[in-house]
Amino acid sequence: MPNRVLILTDHADDARTLQEVLPQSSDGPFDIEWRRRLDHATDRLDSDAIDIVLLDFFLPDCSGIETFDAIHGTAPSVPVLTLVSDQETELAREAVQRGAQGYLLRGHFLSALVPQALRNVIQRKRVDDALFMERAWATVTLDSISDAIISTDCDALITYMNLAAEQVTGWSKDEAHGRPIVEVLCVIDRSTRKPTANPVAQVIRQNEPLAINVNSVLVRRDNEEIPIEHSTAPIHDRRGRITGAVLVFRKIGPTQVLMATRMTYLAQHDALRFAQSHIAQRPPGARHCFGQTPRTLSCRVVPRSGQLQDDQRFPWAFDRRSIA
């Protein structure tokens, strides 16, 4: 498919030179149209059939930076290269600041770099369009799922939130953008009621994902508390360097909270249950370890702190025959 070029200039010599050079270039093919007036060009741009505009600032019906503003305002997505003399380079730089892709100097239109520059600008625009569509597709997809998603940079500053994250946290993505994640996502431990360690900072520091945590409570912006489960993973660039982290979380209901509490309890007391089972299954020689005199055996769970609380005493009695 040819690259469609609109030349907008009242200088016939410039237009003819470009019409001769571009079709012969291996960087094409180029399909060229020439217009002398701004009003004729704006009508053509409305059809959305132009890939690039080569623009002269001074036309019969418009002049100066206003010429670029009119073209860019009519078709902001179409790249523009301005055609200027040495005396007009300052005007060309101003146009670049307003959105032009660059400028071509008169007297150098025969250079092989001119069609190459056009090709590069057109291809870059197509890549930008593809990236825009990909981002739009990703945004629609992420906003349509029920899981809340927040991404950050390496400083744990928020770069993205999906719609579910906005609803769960009470923050809009515009308000949250650039803020520390601990400011937007205030999470406390369900058991201790103390703030949890920042999972994003931990993932960025260790460069390893964190498994699902089900013992968390989110304190929303309006101070409402919501039980959640969450997991965090690092984000890498093409070279494998960490560029940030993504945190995925969701609200959990009373049944899930109860299950999480039970799992936490079982995890804390698995050692005790193992000891009970292990002692009960000892071979007859176990009596030499425990002796013949005691008729009962009492087991207790002692936490890492070494402090035994009243509600942490779990006695079991064993008949001597059960371990004989």
In the chain, the domains with their CATH numbers are 3-139 (3.40.50.2300), 145-252 (3.30.450.20), 271-323 (no CATH)
3-state secondary structure of 153: strand
pLDDT band for 264, please (50, 70, 90 cuts). Answer: low
Burial tier of 26 (Cβ tally within 10 Å: 0-12, 13-18, 19+): exposed
Confidence (pLDDT) at 162: 94
Confidence (pLDDT) at 235: 95
- In the chain, alpha helices (H): 12-21, 38-45, 65-74, 89-98, 113-144, 163-169, 173-176, 181-184, 199-206, 254-280, 287-290
Confidence (pLDDT) at 271: 53
How confident is the model over 83-105, as pLDDT tens digits? 999 899 999 999 999 999 999 99
Question: Do residues 35 and 53 make contact, with C-beta atoms less than 8 angstroms apart?
Answer: no
Is there a cis peptide before residue 29, judged by omega within 30 degrees of 0? yes
Those residues whose C-beta lies under 8 Å from the C-beta of residue 258, and which sit 6 or more positions away, are: none
The angle subtended at Cα 237 by Cα 232 and Cα 238, nearest 5°, is 135
Question: Do residues 109 and 125 make contact, with C-beta atoms less than 8 angstroms apart?
Answer: no
Amino acid at 250: R
pLDDT band for 28, please (50, 70, 90 cuts). Answer: confident
DSSP-derived pairing of the beta strands 148-153 and 158-161:
antiparallel
Percent of the chain at pLDDT exceeding 90 = 48
Gyration radius from the chain CA atoms: 35
Question: Do residues 235 and 245 make contact, with C-beta atoms less than 8 angstroms apart?
Answer: yes
Q: Encoding tokens for residue 318?
A: 């064993």
Confidence (pLDDT) at 44: 81
Confidence (pLDDT) at 182: 93
Average pLDDT over residues 231-236: 94
Considering 40-44, 278-282, 306-310, the range whose residues carry the highest mean pLDDT is 40-44
Confidence (pLDDT) at 320: 40
pLDDT band for 261, please (50, 70, 90 cuts). Answer: low
Average pLDDT over residues 144-159: 94
Confidence (pLDDT) at 139: 85
